[in-house]
Amino acid sequence: MEPAKFLVNGEWIATENKQSVTNPYKNDVVGEVFQAGPRQIDQAIMSAADAFSQTRLLTSFERSTILGAIAKEIESSKETFSKLITGETGKPITFSRVEVERAIFTFTFSAEEAKRIEGNIVPLDLAPKSNDRIALVRRFPLGPVGAITPFNFPLNLVAHKVGPAIAAGCSIVLKPSSKAPLTALRLAEIIDRTVLPKGGFNVVPCPGDQAEQLVTDKRIKLITFTGSPAVGWALKAKAGKKRVLLELGGNAGVIVDKDADLAHALRRIVQGAYGNAGQSCISVQRVFVHESVYTRFSEQLLKMTKSIASGDPENERTVVGPMIDEAAASKVEGWIFEALAQGANLLCGGRRTGAFLEPTVVTDARPEMKINAQEVFAPVVTIAPFKEFREAVQMVNQSEYGLQAGVFTNNLDHVLYAYRELEVGGVIINDSSSYRMDNMPYGGVKDSGHGREGVPYAIEEMTELKLLGLTMV
């Protein structure tokens, strides 16, 4: 198979540097990708800057039509995309199919939102000397956008940057994950076939640190980054005056109250903790259960965890496949051993084979242990009992992160208290932390991020308000 070329200024580019992409389950090479170097990245930035003079003037109708065409083409290649995602990430095929459906939604919704970038009228006659004045305010595209994306949703998280950028009238340079660049390059083929002006979308596969060029180059007006907190915050420190949107990780907490529907809570927690091998930023990591139902909850969780379908990601029954690579699985295995040595107990799991880590439940883990304090990004949960609801909220907040939290309760006071007190970007009632609809505002507080994604909210970040003051003389 020929290595995949990348797209700069409407041209498909091959270079002397190649990188191979490995399937973490079979450990075989599923593709090769040409790598962009500093010169090609510079060309991509230049072409995005040139193309912006055209993309900024596209009409709402034109932007919407382009996005609708992208959604339609993904729709007609659904299975190809699903297999590609499973091939390069090891994501179970049924989860890959869901991701493709979500990406179609994200582009379709972006097509709709492209028609809804409205403004408002501001009265200015609020003081005696400001008679006969009124102002119009509307949003204008910010400029070329630099987008950097992670491996775990290689299609939909790219869609969350490209969709709003095209809707807003911005041009784009995308740097996809080196672990999963094939899906983004396939999407680039589709975007290349639309009538988006040449250079309006560029994709530059390259090693992570080389993408800093996007962050430091003044022609890029906004960096939208999804990935790990360490990389994200370091990039923000280097971005100078550039606007930066950070969608980072977390160690999501979930509360199971005494009056919760336990069977429902267990189903959703198991799905939210182990689906995609826990490699989601809102994956359930820390579960706090009311003491009156703790024993029943932990017995059921143990049973369900042991019976979860694991293994070959191409098998339609598989829920837990491999993690992205052996290094990632081995790191978390080490954290589990460390917690056990420090006094935690293993309810089940904990064993690793290559990149595959068994779904794992740990009890008696203290907040400062890595499996609680850090983002595990693996099929691992800790469970702990609580007495008072307020105490559970404090336990969730005892974290440097704050992306989303789940609360299973039927007590309205507790719902309102959790909404007011939980230090997170979103509180999900009667579901786990691991819920996302692609139009909702999505992002974290504390170390989990800066700004919001979700199509209309990302469009706001990618545009700037401008006022037109009108004076009657």
Judge whether 247 counts as a catalytic residue. yes
In three-state secondary structure terms, 134 is: strand
| Binding of ligand NAP by 327 (CB under 6 A) | no
Q: E strands, 161-313, where? A: 172-175, 201-203, 222-226, 243-247, 253-256, 286-290
Beta carbon nearer to ligand NAP, 64 or 226: 226
In three-state secondary structure terms, 195 is: coil
Beta carbon nearer to ligand NAP, 228 or 342: 228
Q: List residues bridging with 468 in a β-sheet.
A: 136
Please, where are the H alpha helices in 56-204? 60-76, 78-89, 93-113, 156-168, 182-192
Task: Tell which residue, 290, 302, 280, 293, has the closest CA to residue 255.
Answer: 290
| Binding of ligand NAP by 253 (CB under 6 A) | no
Beta carbon nearer to ligand NAP, 207 or 343: 207
| Binding of ligand NAP by 211 (CB under 6 A) | yes
**Which of 88, 247, 358, 453 is labelled catalytic?**
247
Beta carbon nearer to ligand NAP, 234 or 470: 234
Beta carbon nearer to ligand NAP, 327 or 341: 327
**Which of 113, 206, 281, 358 is labelled catalytic?**
281
Evaluate whether 54 touches 62 at the Cβ level (below 8 Å): no
| Binding of ligand NAP by 248 (CB under 6 A) | yes
Number of H helices, E strands in the chain: 15, 24
Closest separation in Å from C-beta 204 to ligand NAP: 11
| Binding of ligand NAP by 281 (CB under 6 A) | yes
| Residue span binding ligand NAP (CB under 6 A) among the ranges 223-231, 307-315, 390-398, 427-435 | 223-231
Residue 292 sits at φ, ψ, to 5 deg, of -70, -20
In three-state secondary structure terms, 30 is: strand
Evaluate whether 288 touches 253 at the Cβ level (below 8 Å): yes
Q: Which residues contact 242 (CB under 8 A, 6 or more apart)?
A: 215, 218, 220, 221, 222, 223
d(CA 124, CA 128) in angstroms, rounded, equals 10
| Binding of ligand NAP by 247 (CB under 6 A) | yes
d(CA 178, CA 208) in angstroms, rounded, equals 8
Structure tokens at 348: 């089940």
State the number of binding residues for ligand NAP (CB under 6 A): 29
Task: Tell which residue, 440, 324, 385, 255, has the closest CA to residue 85.
Answer: 324
Binding mask 118-157 for ligand NAP (x = CB under 6 A): ------------------------------xxxxxx---x
Residue 378 sits at φ, ψ, to 5 deg, of -160, 165
Closest separation in Å from C-beta 387 to ligand NAP: 31
* Selected binder of ligand NAP within 235, 252, 422, 458 (CB under 6 A): 235
Beta carbon nearer to ligand NAP, 186 or 290: 186
Closest separation in Å from C-beta 151 to ligand NAP: 4
Which parts of 181-210 interact with ligand NAP (CB under 6 A)?
207-209
In three-state secondary structure terms, 199 is: coil
| Binding of ligand NAP by 231 (CB under 6 A) | yes
Question: 242: burial class by Cβ within 10 Å (0-12, 13-18, 19+)?
Answer: buried
| Binding of ligand NAP by 439 (CB under 6 A) | no
Binding mask 347-386 for ligand NAP (x = CB under 6 A): ----------------------------x-x---------
d(CA 106, CA 167) in angstroms, rounded, equals 11
Closest separation in Å from C-beta 210 to ligand NAP: 8
Beta carbon nearer to ligand NAP, 40 or 409: 40
Cite the active site residues.
247, 281
User: Which residues contribute to the site for ligand NAP (CB under 6 A)?
Assistant: 148-153, 157, 175, 177-179, 207-209, 211-212, 226-228, 231, 235, 247-249, 281, 375, 377, 403, 449
